[in-house]
């Protein structure tokens, strides 16, 4: 009985792993250049940050004039995003991106790419701007880093 339960759990875990693998492989492979910390983010995105009540949601804005010739057409697609980091004390940083925050941002960016945009980053380059906090959001829920992702079609056999 105990053995059967263990086997069932093992099979279920295997099924979930297979599901996850299948979902991962269905993502479009891309190379990403991430600029972390845009001091002048698109104003539409700033408005969305101010207006959005759901503090857990990532905020996305596709740069419209470039999105039409996006990844499928091989020309880079540019996506501006705001990544919320309500728990970080921005006063301590003076606006310089600490390695820990940079890592957190890269991880969150990767998450947004996969879950929101259906892309799998096979190669990522990062440029961290000096002014990474948008300085004009009064509440902690508005603590956000504005980033610009330049997404180019990648190859499935490239490794991360």
Partner 1 sequence: MRKLTKQNLEDIIIGCSYFGAGGGGSFNEGLHLVYEDLDAGLTFNLMSPDEMKDDEYAAATYGVGSTAPPTPEEVKRYADLPRIKEEPTAAAFRALEKYMGKKFVATIAGEIGPGNTPAAMSVAAHLGIPQLDGDTVGRATPEIDQNTVLAAGYTITPAAGVTKYGDEMILAKIARTSREEDFFRAASMISMGIGVSDTAISGKMAKTPGVIVQGSISNAERIGKVYRMAVETHADPIRAVMEAGKGYWLFEGTIADFHWKDKGGYLFGDLEIAGTGKYQGSRYKIAYQNENIIAWCDGKVSVTPPDLIVPVVAATAKAIANPDFEKGQAVTVLGFPAPAPWRTPGGLKLFGPEHFGYDTPYIPIEERFASARK
CA distance 56 to 83: 10
CB burial of 51-62 (b: ≥16 within 10 Å; e: otherwise) equals: eeeeeeebbebb
Residue carrying structure tokens 């990844």: 71
2 φψ region: left (φ > 0), alpha (ψ -120 to 50), beta (else) = alpha
Q: What minimum distance in Å lies between the beta carbon of 57 and partner 1? A: 20
Whose Cβ is closer to partner 1: residue 61's or residue 121's?
61
* Residues near partner 1, by CB under 8 A: 39-44, 46-47, 50, 63, 65-66, 94-96, 129-131, 135-136, 138
Residue 71 Cα to chain centre, angstroms: 17
Q: What is d(CA 26, CA 39) in angstroms, rounded to the nearest whole number? A: 34
> In the complex with partner 1, which residue's Cβ is closer, 50 or 74?
50
Nearest distance from residue 65's CB to partner 1, in Å? 5
CB of 27 to partner 1, least distance (A): 28
Question: Smaller CB distance to partner 1: residue 9 or 47?
Answer: 47
Answer whether 28's CB lies under 8 Å from 149's CB.
Answer: no
Would you say 121 or 132 has its CB closer to partner 1? 132
């Amino acid at each position: 009985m105990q053995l059967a339960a263990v086997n069932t759990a093992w099979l279920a875990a295997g099924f979930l792993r297979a599901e996850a693998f299948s979902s991962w492989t269905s993502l479009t492979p891309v190379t990403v250049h991430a600029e972390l910390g845009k001091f002048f983010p698109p104003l539409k995105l700033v408005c969305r940050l101010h207006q959005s009540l759901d503090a857990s949601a990532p905020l996305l804005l596709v740069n419209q004039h470039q999105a039409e010739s996006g990844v499928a057409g091989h020309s880079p697609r540019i996506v501006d995003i705001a990544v919320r980091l309500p728990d970080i004390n921005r006063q301590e940083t003076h606006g310089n991106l600490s390695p820990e925050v940079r890592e957190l941002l890269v991880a969150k960016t990767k998450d947004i790419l996969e879950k929101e945009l259906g892309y799998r980053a096979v190669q990522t380059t990062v440029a961290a701007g000096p002014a990474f906090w948008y300085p004009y959001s009064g509440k902690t829920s508005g603590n956000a880093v504005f980033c610009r992702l330049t997404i180019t079609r990648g190859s499935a056999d490239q490794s991360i």
